[in-house]
């Protein structure tokens, strides 16, 4: 039996939801004994840079 057929549909839906909510970052899936044991989401938030101005300008 292939791994695809053994993955619980609930796990697949969780991974899809995490991917859809992610703009910048990564999803890490941890596997132990051929089973998904953990899903980590690392999200990055990009902030605009503010230009510094010198006094008197």
**Considering the domain boundaries, does residue 13 fall inside one?**
yes
Structurally, the chain folds into a number of domains equal to: 1
How high is the pLDDT of residue 44? 94
The parent domain of residue 23 ranges over: 3-42
**Considering the domain boundaries, does residue 49 fall inside one?**
no
Beta bridge partners of 36: 31
Q: What is the pLDDT of residues 1-46, one digit of tens each?
A: 455 557 899 999 999 999 999 999 999 999 999 899 999 999 999 8
**Considering the domain boundaries, does residue 36 fall inside one?**
yes
Tell me, rounded to whole angstroms, the distance of Cα 47 from its chain centroid. 18
Say how far apart CA 3 and CA 34 lie, in whole Å.
8
Q: What are φ and ψ of residue 10, in 5° steps?
A: -65, -35
């Amino acid at each position: 039996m292939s791994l695809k057929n053994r993955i619980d549909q609930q796990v697949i839906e969780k991974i899809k939801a995490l991917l859809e909510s992610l703009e910048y970052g990564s999803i890490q899936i941890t596997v132990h004994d051929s089973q998904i044991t953990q899903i980590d989401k690392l999200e990055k938030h990009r902030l605009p840079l503010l230009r510094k101005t010198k006094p008197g300008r």
